[in-house]
Amino acid sequence: MSEIIIRKEGRAGRITLNRPKALNALSYEMCLETEKALDAWRHDDEVDLIVLDAEGDRAFCAGGDIADLYRSAQEQDYDYGRRFWSDEYRMNAKIAEYPKPVVAFLNGFVMGGGVGIGGHCAHRIVGESTQISMPECSIGFVPDVGGSYLLSKAPGRLGEYLGLTAARMGAGDAVHAGFADHFVPEAEWEALKARLVETGDITSLPVHAAPESPLKQTQDEIDALFSGEALIDVVNALRNSDSDFAVKSLKTIGRNAPLSMAVTIEMLHRLRMGQSDIRKALELEYRVCYRIMEHGDMIEGIRAAIIDKDRSPKWRHDLENVPAADISKMLLPLGKNALSFRERAMKIGFIGLGNMGGPMAANLAKEGHAVAGFDVAGTTAEGVASVNSAAEAAKDADVVITMLPNGEILRAVASDVIPAMSKGAVLLDCSTVDVASARAVAELCGAAELGFLDAPVSGGIGGAAGGTLTFMVGGTQTALDKAMPLFDIMGQKAVHCGEAGNGQAAKICNNMILGITMVGTCEAFALADKLGLSREAMFDVVSTSSGYSWSMNAYCPAPGVGPQSPADNDYQPGFAAELMLKDLRLSQQAAGAADADTPLGLAATELYETFVEQEDGKGRDFSAMLPRFAGRGRS
Ligand code: NAD
């Protein structure tokens, strides 16, 4: 039986935690599956809202699966925990920021990881059995999964009280403290879920008064006792009071990890300063996670609580003596190891490791993705595992990327890889090909329940190596969302141009303009030569007048004039004339198919055809049109 049940019902996406015997404690798998479902439904028109609930009546979710953390830390493997937390926190942020309503039904225990998945939803429903708490300080950890954010926003010093003592909140307290939104008697929950599923309409939430909040009655005392600058101030305030509440709180605090509580106070103070949001809180929490297994009390806390169950943890510090330096060490920024919210590493198949594909694949591998590459020429790329066929590269891949010479080859490769790909994976073609081939491959992918994107690039070999390409993307938003983290690595910008084929359409139109403006710029320089106007003067005028263009301003075809360009390197490409000819031919093929009148595009195509096929253009940069024009007369 699956630990989490994910399905679409009526107008809703439904996520049900399904480990009732383990009080629905959140496993790594459950975090990843939740994130996958959120990603899939983000732009799914059949899903208006998400309903999140849990099997069993004892707990919505009583925390995270900490036994695995303990086992990995025993083997000095701290990376497992870091990976788990960074994936879990990204999911927590996605829930908090989700563009569609997420309705969570928080029954029974809702602790730690349960607050992370249920406590940031837009509509948090609580009932008679609800018991919410952040108990991390009792196992030598700190309130995490964005819990520190909720604590920092709770009225007065409630955050400190709840974080340090792990006190449980019933429905009334949860609403008062900002951990829940609506009280609905649990007898009504099933009917309410059915209504949400049927209508997809969030406005049908019933309105009930929340029960009394005992915490609200105690708020003044809590504010007085828990407002100290540091843990020792709180401890002293509690010792100086003889109220039952203070005595009980002090007893609880006496059992919990001093370092954890001191760090928690510092975190809440920092989060209350200036603007904070869930990401800021998660990033702060992650600093602690990163270090606490090795340098804090967490492993000892887990041992005492759930491994040896002796309930006698030996904490590193006394309540009275947690040095400020130890607190700040836990919270120091992590530099390049900081929580990035970047998507989990993907399995990528990369087909076509030529001048462009090679460095693009290497950049993906460098960022931690598992890249399997194939090229008929046997070329490889750094960090990329070579495999023996395109189909092998595509097997089990989340995304298959192609970077191939033309549409015919793309179609042939697509017919090999599509049957090997898993449902839901995305075929991402970055080659420059004809619009018809892109659309034909998109159709094959659709029939195989795969996503497809045509995403030709601009930026050339330098952009491929430097990760600064611009992608012009055609295809669905869902496929684009999946590929976005890869575009972020390979390029600086991805522009969504609409449906499949539109990326190629944009590329072809752009490069037709480029071919035309380069020809125009070159013939104007040749004319200026013959009129006795210096190239320098011509550049100075045109680059700041209405004749300016990228061809003149950024890629000036005259050697020694304007910014550095292939003209300064004896017209070594750069962007080879034959590649420009390829793109211009694609523009004319598309114009023919669409019955578009493109006389200048046609003229540029013919000029580059002559240049490449009958003159000395092949292997030279496309701006070498300038010496061609300069050496000719009018006839
Ligand atoms: P390239 O010729 O260097 O690379 C293409 C690679 O595909 C080659 O290594 C080739 O062996 C491989 N290949 C061919 N058939 C294959 C098959 N059936 N299976 C696997 N591999 C196969 O070309 P490139 O410069 O890398 O350009 C790739 C694409 O990017 C082209 O569509 C091009 O128009 C476009 N593009 C290139 C530039 C540039 O400046 N080079 C700029 C923008 C776009």
CATH assignment of the domain containing 152: 3.90.226.10
483 closest CA partner among 419, 432, 396, 424: 424
**Same domain for 331 and 428:** no
Is residue 548 domain-resident?
A: yes
Is residue 360 domain-resident?
A: yes
Q: Quick one: pLDDT at residue 344?
A: 78
DSSP state of 336: G
Q: Percent of the chain beyond pLDDT 90?
A: 90
Rounded-to-integer distance, Cα 206 and Cα 436, Å: 52
- Quick check: 443 pLDDT over 80? yes
377 lines ligand 1 (CB under 6 A): yes
Nearest atom (ligand 1) to Cα of 582: 34
Residues 6+ apart with CB under 8 A from 630: 525, 526, 529
- Tell me, rounded to whole angstroms, the distance of Cα 517 from its chain centroid: 38
**Same domain for 162 and 302:** yes
**Same domain for 41 and 20:** yes
Is residue 342 domain-resident?
A: no
Bridge pairing between strands 102-106 and 109-111: unpaired
Q: How confident is the model over 75-98, as a mean pLDDT?
A: 93
CA of 606 to the centre of ligand 1 (A): 23
Is residue 184 domain-resident?
A: yes
Summarised one tens digit per residue, pLDDT across range 318-362 is: 999 999 999 999 999 999 899 988 877 899 999 999 999 999 999
Q: Quick one: pLDDT at residue 40?
A: 85
**Same domain for 453 and 379:** yes
Confidence of residue 194 (pLDDT cuts 50, 70, 90): very high
Confidence of residue 635 (pLDDT cuts 50, 70, 90): confident
Summarised one tens digit per residue, pLDDT across range 25-57 is: 999 999 999 998 998 898 888 999 999 999 999
469 lines ligand 1 (CB under 6 A): no
Nearest CA to ligand 1 atom 42: 460
Rounded-to-integer distance, Cα 87 and Cα 344, Å: 7
CA of 355 to the centre of ligand 1 (A): 7
Summarised one tens digit per residue, pLDDT across range 139-176 is: 999 999 999 999 999 999 999 999 999 999 999 999 99
Is residue 109 domain-resident?
A: yes
CA of 345 to the centre of ligand 1 (A): 25
Domain end call among 500, 525, 541:
500
Beta strand segments in 10-78, E: 12-17, 49-54, 59-62
Burial of 202 (0-12, 13-18, 19+ CB in 10 A): middle
413 lines ligand 1 (CB under 6 A): yes
- Quick check: 456 pLDDT over 80? yes
Q: Which among 351, 403, 434 is the best mutation to test ligand 1's pocket, defined by most ligand atoms within 8 Å of the CB?
A: 403
Tokens of 82: 């870091």
Tokens of 372: 């399997």
Nearest atom (ligand 1) to Cα of 432: 32
Rounded-to-integer distance, Cα 348 and Cα 36, Å: 17
Is residue 505 domain-resident?
A: no
Rounded-to-integer distance, Cα 50 and Cα 97, Å: 13
As a dihedral over the C-alpha atoms of residue 156, residue 160, residue 165, residue 166, rounded to 10 degrees, the angle is 90
444 closest CA partner among 434, 436, 452: 452
**Same domain for 545 and 448:** no
**Cβ neighbours around 531 below 10 Å, total:** 8
**Same domain for 83 and 168:** yes
What is the CATH number for 406? 3.40.50.720
Question: Among the options 507, 530, 582, 618, which is catalytic?
Answer: 507
Tokens of 75: 């083997």
Nearest CA to ligand 1 atom 38: 460
Residues 6+ apart with CB under 8 A from 285: 89, 142, 143, 144, 145, 146, 147, 148, 267
* Structural domain total, the chain: 3
- Quick check: 381 pLDDT over 90? yes
- Quick check: 508 pLDDT over 80? yes
Q: Quick one: pLDDT at residue 504?
A: 98
**Same domain for 227 and 190:** yes
Is 507 annotated in the active site? yes
- Quick check: 368 pLDDT over 90? no
432 lines ligand 1 (CB under 6 A): yes
**Same domain for 25 and 82:** yes
As a dihedral over the C-alpha atoms of residue 161, residue 164, residue 165, residue 168, rounded to 10 degrees, the angle is 70
- Quick check: 1 pLDDT over 80? no
Q: How confident is the model over 379-383, as a mean pLDDT?
A: 95
**Same domain for 380 and 297:** no
Q: Quick one: pLDDT at residue 304?
A: 96
Rounded-to-integer distance, Cα 338 and Cα 283, Å: 7
431 lines ligand 1 (CB under 6 A): yes
What's the N-to-C CA distance of the chain in angstroms? 81
586 lines ligand 1 (CB under 6 A): no
- Quick check: 478 pLDDT over 90? no
**Same domain for 323 and 469:** no
Domain boundaries, position 584: 512-630
- Quick check: 418 pLDDT over 90? yes
Q: How confident is the model over 80-86, as a mean pLDDT?
A: 91
393 lines ligand 1 (CB under 6 A): no
φ/ψ (deg, to 5) at 137: -60, -20
Q: How confident is the model over 489-498, as a mean pLDDT?
A: 95
Nearest CA to ligand 1 atom 7: 352
DSSP state of 344: P
335 preceded by a cis bond (ω within 30 of 0): no
Is residue 434 domain-resident?
A: yes
CA of 414 to the centre of ligand 1 (A): 15
Nearest atom (ligand 1) to Cα of 374: 20
460 lines ligand 1 (CB under 6 A): yes
374 lines ligand 1 (CB under 6 A): yes
Summarised one tens digit per residue, pLDDT across range 199-248 is: 999 997 888 999 999 999 999 999 999 999 999 999 999 999 999 999 99
Confidence of residue 426 (pLDDT cuts 50, 70, 90): very high
**Same domain for 327 and 367:** no
Q: What is the pTM of this model?
A: 0.68
Summarised one tens digit per residue, pLDDT across range 546-593 is: 999 999 999 999 999 999 999 999 999 889 999 999 999 999 999 999
Domain end call among 277, 305, 337:
337
Is residue 33 domain-resident?
A: yes
What is the CATH number for 595? 1.10.1040.10
409 lines ligand 1 (CB under 6 A): yes
The rounded mean pLDDT for the chain is: 96
Nearest atom (ligand 1) to Cα of 431: 32
**Same domain for 358 and 311:** no
* Total residues found in the chain within this entry: 635
